[in-house]
Amino acid sequence: MSESMVRRWVREFKAGRHSLEDESGRGRPSLITDELTTKIENAICNDRRLTLDELHNLFPEISRSLIHEIVSEKLKFRKVCARWVPRELTPLHKATRVTAGKEFLDRYRDEGNDFLKSIVTGDETWVAHYTPENKRQSMQWKHTSSPTAKKFKVRYCETLKKLRRAIQNKRRGMLTAGVSLLHDNARPHVAASTTALLNQFSWDVLTHPPYSPDLAPSDYHLFTKLKESLAGKRFQSDEVQTAVTNWTKELAGSFYAEGISKLVSRYTKCIEIDGNYVEKD
């Protein structure tokens, strides 16, 4: 502490001051008000992908650094990536993937393209009113109290019955030739009621290793192309459902066949790299 500062404190105490704490009302008034904090929080809750620059454009009366202070220190928000991050595979997971790959390729060698033509697959994905174009745009503001996305519960057996009717109407002869169903290990897919229904259908269920979206045509082919077509577009209300429906109607049958045929190269690659994730075809 400098000599001048010591002299100032001596004068303060001689004048009757008794505390070293700052007196209320002294110093520069804070620009962070409850009203401003609430406005910024509401803006983030309405669009969690807002960047600091975009928030600064919404609140030009305060600096970008002050907005960052409010968001990170006052509101306790942190930017996290909303995209799927691959799970770290254990040795058991890798071995299971290799075993599934060998089983699949053995059938392919025995039955050829007839085996690929018998495969029916499907899955679910989230489609938002705005799909980011890159990883940076996919980042969202989150904190411990942020709500998590909830999956809609669908009766899987009803879905399978609808699928069977669709195959009967649109793929004549396929039910007679035999259906090979490829789906993941989600609870509704392995439930006793589902297993009983698939036995009733006489459908063959292909082995799908856990934590393997890179071996699911819906994930690495269909959903990837869907998200690319929606990237950067903003939709209102039910417009996004219409956009997805129209996009699927425009696809040729060869597009779906291409996704399934890629299983051969992907399983081959998976075996070659000892069960690790396959990043590209």
Under the banding of pLDDT at 50, 70 and 90, the label for residue 237 is confident
On average, the pLDDT of the chain sits at 83
Indicate the residue type of 10.
Answer: V
Q: According to the model, what pLDDT value does residue 7 have?
A: 76
Structure token digits, residue 123: 């899955």
Q: Please state which of the ranges 125-134, 218-227, 243-252 shows the lowest mean pLDDT.
A: 125-134
- Which domains occur in the chain, in start order? 30-76 (1.10.10), 91-272 (3.30.420.10)
Q: Which of 149, 140, 139, 129 has the alpha carbon at shortest distance from 231? A: 129
Which whole-number Å values give the CA distances from 126 to 84, 221, 231, 244, 277, in the listed order?
A: 12, 15, 13, 11, 22
Other beta carbons within 10 angstroms of residue 222's beta carbon come to: 20
Q: According to the model, what pLDDT value does residue 94 have?
A: 96
pLDDT at residue 27 is higher than 50 = no
pLDDT tens digits, residue range 90-119? 999 999 999 999 999 999 999 999 999 999
Bridge partners of residue 120, in order along the sequence: 181
> Where does residue 194 rank: exposed (0-12), middle (13-18), buried (19+ CB within 10 A)?
buried
Residues 6+ apart with CB under 8 A from 110: none
Q: Please state which of the ranges 139-148, 183-192, 233-242 shows the lowest mean pLDDT.
A: 139-148
> Where does residue 263 rank: exposed (0-12), middle (13-18), buried (19+ CB within 10 A)?
buried
pLDDT tens digits, residue range 41-86? 898 888 777 888 888 899 988 888 888 888 888 888 887 655 555 6
Q: According to the model, what pLDDT value does residue 22 have?
A: 54
pLDDT at residue 133 is higher than 50 = no
Packing angle between helix 91-111 and helix 253-272, nearest 10 degrees? 130
